[in-house]
Structure 1
Amino acid sequence: MVLPLTLGRSADSLRIVTGNANRAAVDALAEPAGWPFRTAILAGPPRSGRSLLGRWFEQTGGGAFVDDADRLDETELFHRWNRAQEEGETLLLAGPASGWTIALPDLRSRLGAALHLEIGTPDDDMLASLIEAHAQQRGLALGEGALTYLVPRATRSFAAIEKLVEEIDRLTLERKVPATLAIWRAALDAVEGPEQASLL
């Protein structure tokens, strides 16, 4: 399943790939009426699509979205939460997968009562879909058998997959050749290390 997201005034859209790692979060974002205090916190690792999902949520009328909420001044964020409650506004906050320590007691108690959603680790099926999505976004033809070769050898990480496809694209342009086994292997070698690239 792919969710469309229009960026700014452009007609272009980015694909938000859904799979095992984010399906529960996507389902919850589609039904915000039952959120406690109309507030949810969406956490996830870097490049996992937290911001894209938040913007999709906002664009589809789900409510207001605050990205990188952990970087905001806590008093400001506390007032933002209070304002949302007063106005009956649904509020989605995006934060890190770990390491968000809230010092302000009132804010900590309120956000502790919110719905907590987390983007996890992609499985093989989602990994394949992510590779395809990043390649399509770049206009990159991966070549036959690419997913069969790459998926078992790639790190189960959103950031690593994005970097891997970026490296394949760079190598095809640099060498002026299509993406074939030699390119896949060289990209894995650069991103993952030679041991991972040589796995059977």
Structure 2
Amino acid sequence: MQLALDLPHRQSFRGEDFFIASSNAAAVALMDRWPDWPSHSLAIVGPAACGKSHLAAVWRARSNADMVTAEEVGARSRLMLRPHPAVIVEDADQALKEGRLDPVDLFHLYNWMREREGFLLLSGRVAPAQWDVTLPDLRSRLLATPIANIEAPDDDLLAALMVKRLSDRQLHADPKLVDYVIPRIERSFAAMEKTVAALDAASLARKKPITLPLARAVLSDLSFL
């Protein structure tokens, strides 16, 4: 028996590949105000797989921002020579909760960016007010940070995203198949991503294109049904 390999695929993060809908239009509008960010900071908030990383990547290309891991926040030497730096820290809420991001270091990063008239973009699944932070000064900074909130998607957005994700994996998405799948899965970004991955794996294992019978079989096996 030949095993299906979990081959890597490249997800496109071009600006034109980001779909604007009612669930994310307000977040996009806030992002587009850059560099007119009065607080010089912004937090993108939304559920898993909602497009936070995509928006951050688009802003990174516009602002020439540095993508900094949670562990790198305390080591800012590579940013020191930039007069007006822009920095992105993704999944900051999880990093704080897991102890990978030191609250004191994040507080100093806030101050350091403001002193240099730079810009700080954070992302998380919940609003900064809910982050695991007890340091009063940092909590004050977080509460003052504007929020670009991404809401739960509607069916039209999920369908468009499903077509894109399948295309990222070099798979053809028949519109009738997408119309069949979307009403039968949980209305969430994560469920759509899970479905696309399962369709890809099944297609590869059977060496067949994605068809309606294949989609039916895949959906019957997924745990959220």
TM range (shorter): 0.7 to 0.9
How do 1:46-195 and structure 2 match up within 5 A? 46-61=48-63, 63-70=86-93, 71=95, 72-97=101-126, 99-192=130-223
- Contact kept, 8 Å, 1:168 with 1:187, in 2: the verdict is yes
Q: Secondary structure at the match of 2:165?
A: helix
After superposition, the Cα gap between the structure-2 partners of 1:144 and 1:95, relative to the gap in structure 1 and judged at 3 Å, is closer
- Give the gaps of 5 or more residues in structure 1: 1-10
Question: CA RMSD, aligned part only?
Answer: 2.1
C-alpha distance in structure 1 between counterparts of 2:125 and 2:159, whole Å: 24
Deviations 1:14-41 (A, max 9, x none): 3433322222111211112443411111
Aligned-pair CA distance for 1:177: 2.3
After superposition, the Cα gap between the structure-2 partners of 1:181 and 1:129, relative to the gap in structure 1 and judged at 3 Å, is same
Aligned-pair CA distance for 1:97: 2.1
Q: Secondary structure at the match of 1:32?
A: coil
Structure ranking higher on relative contact order (CA contacts 8 Å, 6+ apart): 2
The residue aligned with 2:44 is 42
Normalised to the residue count of structure 2, the TM-score between the two structures is: 0.74
Q: Secondary structure at the match of 2:43?
A: strand
C-alpha distance in structure 2 between counterparts of 1:121 and 1:184, whole Å: 24
C-alpha distance in structure 2 between counterparts of 1:126 and 1:95, whole Å: 21
- Contact kept, 8 Å, 2:88 with 2:121, in 1: the verdict is yes
- Contact kept, 8 Å, 1:69 with 1:93, in 2: the verdict is yes
After superposition, the Cα gap between the structure-2 partners of 1:139 and 1:42, relative to the gap in structure 1 and judged at 3 Å, is same
Aligned-pair CA distance for 1:125: 0.9
- Give the gaps of 5 or more residues in structure 2: 1-9, 65-85, 96-100
- Aligned AA for 1:109? S
- Contact kept, 8 Å, 2:12 with 2:168, in 1: the verdict is no
The residue aligned with 1:31 is 33
- Aligned AA for 2:122? L
Query: Which piece of structure 1 moves more, 184-193 or 100-109?
Result: 184-193
Q: Which has the higher strand share?
A: 1
Normalised to the residue count of structure 1, the TM-score between the two structures is: 0.83
Instruction: Using the aligned pairs only, state the percent identity.
Output: 37
Q: Secondary structure at the match of 1:20?
A: coil
